Amino acid sequence: MKKRTFKGGVHPYDGKELTKNIPVETVVPHGDMIFPLSQHIGAPAKPLVKKGDYVKMGQMIAEAGGFISANVISSVSGTVKAIEPRLVPSGEMVNSIVITNDESDTTVDGFGKNRDYTKLSKEEIRQIIKDAGIVGLGGAGFPTHVKLTPKNEDEIDYVIVNGAECEPYLTSDYRMMMEEPEKIIGGLKVILQLFDNAKGVIAIEDNKPEAISLIGEMVEEEENIEVYPLKTKYPQGAERTLIYAVSGREINSTMLPADAGCIVDNVDTVISIYMAVCKSTPLIRRIVTVTGDAVVQPHNFNARIGMNYLDLLEAAGGLKENPEKIVSGGPMMGMALSTVDIPVIKTSSALLCMTHDEAAEFEPSACIRCGRCVSVCPGHIVPQKLMEFAERHDIEGFEANFGMECCECGCCAYVCPAKRPLTQAFKQARKAVMEKRRKKA
Ligand code: SF4
Ligand code: SF4
């Protein structure tokens, strides 16, 4: 079978052996639950509850605050304790609904009820997905109902399920592909119902041969669904590299995947679509990998959104020793954390605790013009040159040299022998450009 790929990329140590063969465990939440109003790209959600209100599991507690925004659903039953700023994984204080969990899991009416998606119209399916508060769970947090409403739905010819999971250490998508493949195929069928001319592709890196053969066998009889094996290479799962590997089409920062005829959703997002549409269960949980050499028993957990990371760490047996570095997400694209006393949010994919911080062991030095960063950049840009503009805070120069084509994958910084903090500098510069554009708009 043809294995697809893209130009550039790296092969970092993947650390997946720590958790890939351990079944997902469900963790029951205790104590206060925190629901930030911004867990997605776009406008913050607007609270629908106030202090003292009783809420049920599955109840919408905040509604989308604009076209690009998402509802927030309570993952427990209990009483609203406060609406106040709380620390979130990005390190920011975000206005959040705090609910004291009564631990009875009293649900809203109709929660969990079976529903036949083939009897629903396209509008009904999109509305259910919107109501369920679903956003891209692969990390971006883009509201899914918006993604599934492109300008011209007839031009969509690929619906791609992103099963690459190229980020080192993360195995949550792999475990779901092995444990709940029928929900992934079911969710894909729901999405395909929205696009009359599309074919479904489940794209999986070839370091997951068991998932490729399991799902491949299950879709053998499906006329409109195929499994595409991808070469294992980071960042294979980034939207642009994945679209190129699957369809041969290229997109840039000014385009959406739909402009290239593609809709891309990651494995857990597709499962969430299946659960919302076919099982009347909104987005109240996600799978989180808790891993790293500092963790006693690395695991994947089925975690309720809003619960504290500390509870997941405790379920993983705690820490063997004090970690030098804690990251929310994977080592390539994740955010360093100063505390784990923060809530699991919709975009929380992993908690990585490492005894050594390799990056802190080296002092950056001057560029030796080796060109390695150029050869690995999947964005076909010249990181070494881009760095000159980022360091000088020359925002115009950064933009003119394709800085916005950077997907912040970290490949350039990973291979740089001078240990230059390329990606960190690009992140800052990209933020400054976005800010400038926002002000101008
Ligand atoms: S410049 Fe951006 S896209 Fe290119 S390798 Fe570096 S982080 Fe990745
Ligand atoms: S990899 Fe590092 S040292 Fe080599 S050209 Fe790029 S920035 Fe310079």
pLDDT in tens, 278-320: 999 999 999 999 999 999 999 999 999 999 999 999 999 999 9
Q: What is the mean pLDDT of the chain?
A: 94
Query: Ligand 1: does its nearest atom lie under 6 Å from the Cβ of 235?
Result: no
Packed helices 267-279 and 181-192: angle between N→C axes, nearest 10 degrees: 80
Question: Tens digit of pLDDT for each residue in 213-244?
Answer: 999 999 999 999 999 999 999 999 999 999 99
Average pLDDT of span 260-272:
97
Atom of ligand 1 nearest to the CA of 423: 7
Is residue 384 within 6 Å of ligand 2 at its C-beta? yes
Q: Which pLDDT belongs to residue 367?
A: 94
Q: What pLDDT score does 373 carry?
A: 97
CA 401 to centroid of ligand 1, rounded, Å? 13
Please return the burial class of 405, using the count of CB atoms within 10 Å of its CB with bins 0-12, 13-18 and 19+: middle
Identify the nearest ligand to the CA of 387 by its number.
Answer: 2
Alpha-carbon separation of residue 288 from 31, 57, 241, 305 (angstroms): 19, 20, 24, 10
What domains appear along the chain, each with residue ranges and CATH number?
A: 16-20+112-279 (3.40.50.11540), 372-440 (no CATH)
Ligand nearest to the CA of 417: 2
pLDDT at 2: 66
Q: What percent of the chain clears pLDDT 90, i.e. is strictly above it?
A: 89
pLDDT at 323 exceeding the cut of 70: yes
Task: Locate the ligand 2 atom nearest the alpha carbon of residue 387 and give its number.
Answer: 7
The pLDDT tens digits for 338-348 are: 899 999 999 99
Distances (CA, A) of 326 to 29, 145, 310: 22, 32, 12
Calculate how far, in angstroms, residue 372's C-alpha sits from the geometric centre of ligand 2.
Answer: 6
Query: Model-level pTM?
Result: 0.94
> Separation of 266 CA from ligand 2 center, angstroms?
32
Question: What letter represents residue 145's amino acid?
Answer: H
Atom of ligand 2 nearest to the CA of 368: 3
* Residues 328 and 268: beta-carbon distance below 8 Å: no
Nearest CA to ligand 1 atom 4: 377
Which of 326, 342, 304, 337 has the alpha carbon at shortest distance from 85? 342
Instruction: Classify the phi-psi angles of 61: left when phi > 0, otherwise alpha if psi is within -120 to 50, otherwise beta.
Output: alpha
Highest averaged pLDDT of the listed ranges 136-140, 300-304, 359-363: 300-304
Cβ(201)–Cβ(158) below 8 Å: yes
CA distances from 248 to 130, 251, 267 (A): 31, 10, 21
Q: How far is the CA of 23 from the centre of ligand 1 (A)?
A: 34
**Ligand showing the shortest atom-to-Cα distance for residue 415:** 2
